[in-house]
Amino acid sequence: MPMDRQLKNILTSVLAALVLLFISVLSCHAQSLSQAAARINVQVGTAVNPFFFSNPQYAQTLAREFNMIEPENAMKWTATEPAPGKFNFTAGDEVVAFAAVHHMKVRGHNLLWGQHNPAWLDSGQFTTEQLHEMMKAHIIAVASHYRGKVFAWDVVNEALGNHGEVKPGIWYDRPGIGLAGKETEYVAQAFRWAHQADPDALLFYNDYDAEGLNAKSNGIYAMVKDFKKRGVPIDGVGLQMHVGLDNVPKDVAANIERLTALGLQVQITEMDVRLPINSSGELLDPTDLERQAKIYGEIAGICAAHPGCTAFQTWGFTDRYSWIVHFTHGKYGQPLLFNAAYEPKPAYQAVLDALSKANPKIARRRAEIAARH
């Protein structure tokens, strides 16, 4: 072999070794979730409440660990349209401002839901024509206001039931916007209006108990497949992932696989893992923290391993503020990555490890999918 070829071979090997070393140093020593996530081009996020931004521990933990935030309630109807036709973006704007300062993306949540709507909407007696106009006006006003500020929207939240059927509700058939009996057509219409208002935002359908393969996720799959076929502007499906020790979904990877095969992306949008607690809020079994960690690690690992899973998000980050205790009437709590004193729990370490261990080779592919419309 001529000398210069030999030298070239040696140099190539040295370079390859250096690159490998660099990658492994990066992967072993990620100091935060966002550092580990950046290496594999995944967004790592949490739901937030802007009311707590003035708390230094809250703000510092957020800024250090996450590269994406989503308002827990601040962009829902109750916040954004507290009176008919009167919009208020104050709280949502605070989320956007915090994200801008800390170079984070904002995930918008949500434009249409059958629950947690303002009382004026729930108890009003509206005609289908009025509801049609109200739904259109709301989606267009909110999505237009946040155009260029929110990179992705949960356009419709929780429209399907446990058997994959369209749930009854104000937007569908009580009395609905004029599309009652037309199955998912009102959902499709929400996506069209959202796209009209913000053509650059990624548009998601978001739901719970449909993370693995089951009747509900089959219904979602059929709906989004139909949307893709008919050119309804949808970009992805959000898997909420509110789980407990006894109801961890199976076949999550297979569900992600079939959804992404349609040309959609998937995001884990609201993960928490509830643990049984006593009336003082203490764990019934402290070793549950390890079980919780394992579940977090598994799901984060599944997302990190699939290029079509573009975000991993938890529903809050400190056990101090989680909706679970209230939601489960005090039976469950401590569902998040940090304890009430903002200290990382075993679950935090498990997510950090899962993200750090993920193969960086799919990072470019993930970035392509994340940017695709």
What residue ranges bind ligand XIL (CB under 6 A)? 72-73, 116, 157, 240, 270, 323
By beta-carbon proximity to ligand XIL, the closer residue of 116 and 174 is 116
By beta-carbon proximity to ligand XIL, the closer residue of 72 and 288 is 72
Q: Is the peptide bond before 255 cis (omega within 30 degrees of 0)?
A: no
By beta-carbon proximity to ligand XIL, the closer residue of 209 and 353 is 209
Question: Is 257 a known active-site residue?
Answer: no
Q: Which of 72, 81, 158, 211 is catalytic?
A: 158
Q: Which of 70, 81, 211, 270 is catalytic?
A: 270
Cα angle at 353 between 352 and 357, to 5 degrees?
A: 120
Q: What minimum distance in Å lies between the beta carbon of 50 and ligand XIL?
A: 13
Q: What minimum distance in Å lies between the beta carbon of 270 and ligand XIL?
A: 6
By beta-carbon proximity to ligand XIL, the closer residue of 235 and 272 is 272
**Partners of 112 in the β-ladder:** 156
Q: What is the C-alpha end-to-end distance of the chain, expressed in Å?
A: 50
Question: Is 158 a known active-site residue?
Answer: yes
Q: What minimum distance in Å lies between the beta carbon of 112 and ligand XIL?
A: 11
Residue with tokens 């024509």: 129
Q: What minimum distance in Å lies between the beta carbon of 157 and ligand XIL?
A: 5
**Partners of 202 in the β-ladder:** 152
Closest to 173 measured CA to CA, from 117, 131, 139, 215: 131
Residue with smallest beta-carbon separation from ligand XIL: 323
Q: What minimum distance in Å lies between the beta carbon of 48 and ligand XIL?
A: 11
How far apart are the C-alpha atoms of 322 and 318, rounded to whole Å?
A: 7
- Number of neighbouring beta carbons within 10 Å of residue 73: 17
SS3 45: strand
How far apart are the C-alpha atoms of 210 and 220, rounded to whole Å?
A: 8
By beta-carbon proximity to ligand XIL, the closer residue of 76 and 132 is 76
Q: Token pair of 174, please?
A: 């009580």
80 contacts 87 by C-beta, under 8 angstroms: yes
**Which residues are identified as catalytic?**
158, 270
